[in-house]
Amino acid sequence: LDQSRAVAMSTRVSQILVEHLGQSVLPLDAVATALAVSRRTLTRRLAEERASFRHILDEVRRDFARLCFRIAA
């Protein structure tokens, strides 16, 4: 098994988005490039995991906002 496939694609996407928090939002194409796959392959693999780029991005943003709120409180 290819080690890069051992980690769920949704987890890898999430990690990349977290690494870029506070910077400009990465579009799907940039994340696909960072993962060395095509946009279509990324979308397909996420769909196989019943995930979507938009959902992962929203989740990362929500978690970050919650963290910021806790720190500020």
pTM given for the model: 0.84
Per-residue model confidence as pLDDT tens digits over 19-68: 998 888 889 999 999 999 999 999 999 999 999 999 999 999 999 989 88
DSSP-derived 3-state class of residue 69: helix
The DSSP 8-state label assigned to residue 39 in this structure reads H
Residue 68 to residue 7: CA distance in whole angstroms: 27
